Structure 1
Amino acid sequence: MSKWIMDIQALDPEDNEVVLRFSDSAFIDDDDNYYDNRLEQAALFTNQAFTGAVLQGSRSGFGEAVLINTDGALNELVDYAVDGRGLSLSLEDDGTITKYIQATALRLVDDNNKIRVILRDPQANIDEPHPLDVFAGTNVLPAGVEGTSDDIKGSKKPKVFGKVRSASPLLVNTSKLIYQVSSLDADVVAAYDRGASLTRGANYPDLATMESTAPDAGQYRTFQGYFRLGSSPVGTVTCDVDSSANAGDVFKQIAIEASITVEAADLAPANAIGEVGIFLQDDTTTAALLDLVANSIGFYWYFNTNNVVRLLPLSAPATEDFEVNASQIVDITRESTGAGSNGLPLYQVRVLADKIETVQTDLAGSVSATTVARLSAEYREAKFTNSTVKARHKLSEELVITSCLRSLDDAQAVAETLGALLSVRRDKCAVTARLDDQFDIGRVVRVVTPRLGYAEGRNMIILGHTLDAKRRRVTFNLWG
């Protein structure tokens, strides 16, 4: 007989790392670990991929498991720390263990002889501000690059991911006109005063040389994410900055800074879409940064059951991984037949790209008319339009993606790819079925039922699911 087994990472009252093990039927694993038979509800857990503006989807993961505590043996858990730690739920069947859920424990709640384990998906740990250093304010002018207690002490140090244009750096040494645009190693490829280009001098070999040696008048010289001016600016100082910019590489870099592993095989397809750029200056969650990159390139992401992030392109469903037929289906509903907020196919996709970080109108007279026009608008726009869809569906909508793509050509390619994908019928369904096959977000299921016109079967991608472990049922959120 199959049984559910649950492992919860925890700290005991003495701060020792322990694993709490429970099951819905007494079980001892191959390592002689005993699983206490206390699972009343193995898990009622919902997990969703982030599809952002593309499919009007939100990223989420929540639920709970219930432990029996009629004898009070679990009362001691009040002194255990489980919050923010891993929890897995697996099904043991004749010696084979299959993991169905990898989640994060939020807290334990004592409830009438039961202990409720409140769950979140692993993303709960990255719904926190992405790590940014702060300026110490320790300059003893004219020395130092940390600002003073009177200017930038306590301010966040900016970071550049990829390539950014017309960014406003922070003045970290007012005496020597030293600026910082990124706490990460990056190349300041251009610097401007009121939009007029400054001449680039030789790079500094180290921080000490940058502090000791001024550039010539009208020049700037760089060291990593810093640069120094040779003369006082007359207006707003901005700069262009380059670092590794392929979309997949930037996604991975952001994830690594938050101690997250990304599936290596997913990076090349994302890199092929193009280069991106993010200028991070204020508190933004790690999840929001990952969302921005994925949404910009028409991808979605999620944590798999191995606690690894998958980054996948939104595409038409391919060959099915498994089938759900009428004998397994408990309930099925179709929510929409298109990606618009009104459930209709889209007639237009607009992608805003090539962001200017600092919009300027007060520019030097030497700045060209082309540059004046470019610096007056935050984004440029790529667009796909299908007028036939608009003629057929008079209420069809457009999709607007505010992207971090650097190239307008890449943005146009994304607009056309998504436009072709979303300007035709794409069903969004909820299917509740008896649990027979292992499932995960991103897999393709073939739904075969006489209902909804699916008698011949329709292939659909799993973009979310709710597992009711006690009843051995799963509700799939499907698209395709």
Structure 2
Amino acid sequence: MSQRRIMAYLVELDLLGPADQEVTLYFSDIPVRPFPSTDPDRPNQRYDNRLLEAPSMSLDIFADASRLAGNLGVGRLTLSNADGALNQYRGWAFRTVRVWWGEPAQRSFAAFRPFLAGRAETPTWAISASQPSRLVVPVYDARLDLERDIQETTFAGTNVGPDGYEGGPDDLRNRVKPLALGDLVTANIPLVWVNGPAQVGQVHDGEIEELSGLYDRGADANLIEDGDESGVDFDDAEPDAGHLVTDLGRGLVKVNQDFGGDVTVGVKGAVDLVPAAGYLDTVPPQIRALILRRNPEASIGTSFTALTATETAKAGLYIPDRMAVRQAVQLFAAGLPGWVLPDPLGTWQIGKLRLPSGTADRIIRPVDVISITPGDRQVSIPCWKVTVRGERYYRTHTRQSLAESLWDTEDEARLREEWREAVAEDTALRDRWWPNVREVVVDTALRDPADMQLVADLLFDVMSVRPDETPWEEYLVTLEMDEEWLDLVATPGLGKAHVQLIYPPDGIDRLMIVMGAAPGRPAGHQITLRVWG
């Protein structure tokens, strides 16, 4: 066990100098002898004992519909600069931080396990007349990649008469071009007229799989399709009255029709949102594509492949305005329901909520516990009602904007509502626990009410009460860190790893799921787990 061993952190920090010179600095938190000349990975490598705080990362997912996205906390690298030896690197670009953890007595770099990897941010040179100087290097949070807009391309507003698909200076100029992702066949999307005189509309900035329908004030316009053209052939096409022609490669449609009001469409959306992706209409592949669209060099974990094979619910999202990638990812992930986070090595992972079941992967006994405290109190407040919203209509109609042929029909009622809803509830539970109960509403990108109901049922199970009718509980447990705990956090991973928490002083003996982990915290040789069950 690691209690009987001396463990060390090794840090490698890559820098780039003003003359593009590349340098890697090597640090440790305790004195470590150089690796032998025969070491295949780091022969003769010395590590400077000036590491005061190794960066770490805390990962958290939640059995709570209001926080499905999860949470990530990134630490910082703190180095002693009391002797001023690091001052020569002022003005250099700090590039990458890599951290390993292991037992120096083994005298092999391979005995150290990768602990964290990330981009370094702008350092802080802590200078004080009364204390030794320090260098503090924040580690980049990969989630910041998702704070940027999905779509940054805007209409130029440069049309001249019937020529061009960039809108005019007074209508579309500087407005972002729309994106249509996934299954939007029933989404009633407003058609953006990119050239009014030529009656050309656009539904997506790029290639789409299919134009599924075109509607006038909610009713089928019954136009005759003249096929799909591209490039000049589409530009020169002149459909007869009551006809349309598409250019799926550019997400365009050209019509010849006098409409009575708002024109909307249904589509199967983006093809190749990222290169070679093809048409995607389920949750995990669309999240993967969104991450790679924002950062083509992002590392994608095998958890995406595993969930893609099992999660086949149809999902779609129409984006007519500016939207951060994070917001889109959350709408898709809520349709699992699940979470999306980068792991400590910077690889993006995805997971689905589940109930505790089966046997424990590891037992936590009283002798193992350094400290234990209650977690989030919100977890223990039973949820009596979960409403999952999906199958969104992006243009709704009142009677004033609806085709008269649809008045007093089921379609009129359907087109009046923006969202379809699936509900899981228990009024008896509400009455038993009142007023200490809650209800939640979750928006998703799902398109099938049956899939929405499955999500509502699962969320209700993890947010109401346990099978024995007692509230769910959460604990923060600090333990001595060892390889087995790090392995368990990595595989099967958060949201899957089970522990049996036995703590007789507080009457606790139950199977719980590891929902969060902070390796190296609160002290470098410890790990804090957040367990739920």
SS at match of 2:172: coil
How far has the Cα of 1:267 moved from its partner? 4.2
How far has the Cα of 1:11 moved from its partner? 3.3
How far has the Cα of 1:206 moved from its partner? 0.6
How far has the Cα of 1:379 moved from its partner? 0.4
Which residue pairs with 1:477 in the alignment? 530
How far has the Cα of 1:14 moved from its partner? 3.1
How far has the Cα of 1:430 moved from its partner? 1.2
Residue 289 (structure 2) pairs with residue 253 (structure 1) = yes
Which residue pairs with 2:455 in the alignment? 414
Which residue pairs with 2:396 in the alignment? 359
Which residue pairs with 1:427 in the alignment? 473
Of 255-264 and 356-365, deviating more is: 255-264
Query: What amino acid is aligned across from residue 209 of structure 1 in structure 2?
Result: D
Contact 1:167 1:238 in 2 (8 A): yes
How far has the Cα of 1:239 moved from its partner? 1.0
Structure whose residues are more often strand by fraction = 1
Which residue pairs with 2:231 in the alignment? 207
Any gaps of 5 or more consecutive residues in structure 2?
Answer: 1-5, 128-132, 270-279, 466-470
CA-to-aligned-CA distance 1:44-63 (integer Å, 9 cap, x gap): 54333476635577523232
Of 413-422 and 351-360, deviating more is: 413-422
Contact 1:135 1:154 in 2 (8 A): yes
Which residue pairs with 2:74 in the alignment? 62
SS at match of 2:82: coil
SS at match of 1:419: helix
Query: What amino acid is aligned across from residue 303 of structure 1 in structure 2?
Result: P
Residue 426 (structure 2) pairs with residue 386 (structure 1) = yes
Contact 2:60 2:515 in 1 (8 A): no
Contact 1:338 1:422 in 2 (8 A): no
Rounded Cα–Cα distance in structure 1 between residues aligned with 2:13 and 2:343: 17
2:7 to 2, 7, 12: 2
CA-to-aligned-CA distance 1:281-333 (integer Å, 9 cap, x gap): 22222222212211222112221233222111100234433343322322111
Rounded Cα–Cα distance in structure 2 between residues aligned with 1:273 and 1:415: 17
Shift in alpha-carbon separation, 1:157–1:21, aligned structure 2, 3 A:
farther
How far has the Cα of 1:190 moved from its partner? 1.0
Shift in alpha-carbon separation, 1:36–1:473, aligned structure 2, 3 A:
same
1:35 to 27, 47, 56: 47
SS at match of 2:166: strand
Which residue pairs with 1:262 in the alignment? 300
How far has the Cα of 1:86 moved from its partner? 4.4
Which residue pairs with 2:276 in the alignment? none
Residue 135 (structure 2) pairs with residue 119 (structure 1) = no
How far has the Cα of 1:257 moved from its partner? 0.9
SS at match of 1:203: strand
Contact 1:43 1:470 in 2 (8 A): no
Percent of aligned pairs sharing the same letter: 24
SS at match of 2:227: coil
Contact 1:38 1:67 in 2 (8 A): yes
CA-to-aligned-CA distance 1:182-202 (integer Å, 9 cap, x gap): 113222211112222222403
Shift in alpha-carbon separation, 1:52–1:347, aligned structure 2, 3 A:
closer
How far has the Cα of 1:154 moved from its partner? 2.3
Shift in alpha-carbon separation, 1:409–1:121, aligned structure 2, 3 A:
same
Rounded Cα–Cα distance in structure 1 between residues aligned with 2:328 and 2:283: 12
Rounded Cα–Cα distance in structure 1 between residues aligned with 2:317 and 2:15: 36
Contact 1:332 1:431 in 2 (8 A): yes
Residue 382 (structure 2) pairs with residue 345 (structure 1) = yes
How far has the Cα of 1:265 moved from its partner? 4.2
How far has the Cα of 1:382 moved from its partner? 0.5
Structure 2 counterparts to residues 270-281 of structure 1, below 5 A = 272-281=311-320
Query: What amino acid is aligned across from residue 291 of structure 2 in structure 1?
Result: A
Rounded Cα–Cα distance in structure 2 between residues aligned with 1:238 and 1:374: 15
Residue 204 (structure 2) pairs with residue 156 (structure 1) = no
Structure whose residues are more often helix by fraction = 2
SS at match of 2:58: strand
TM-score in terms of structure 1 length: 0.90
SS at match of 2:332: helix
How far has the Cα of 1:153 moved from its partner? 2.6
TM-score in terms of structure 2 length: 0.82
Query: What amino acid is aligned across from residue 146 of structure 1 in structure 2?
Result: E
CA-to-aligned-CA distance 1:221-243 (integer Å, 9 cap, x gap): 22221111212433112111113
Count of aligned residue pairs for this structure pair: 474
Residue 507 (structure 2) pairs with residue 453 (structure 1) = yes
Query: What amino acid is aligned across from residue 91 of structure 1 in structure 2?
Result: W
SS at match of 1:248: helix
Rounded Cα–Cα distance in structure 1 between residues aligned with 2:22 and 2:159: 42
Rounded Cα–Cα distance in structure 2 between residues aligned with 1:42 and 1:452: 34
Rounded Cα–Cα distance in structure 2 between residues aligned with 1:310 and 1:65: 24
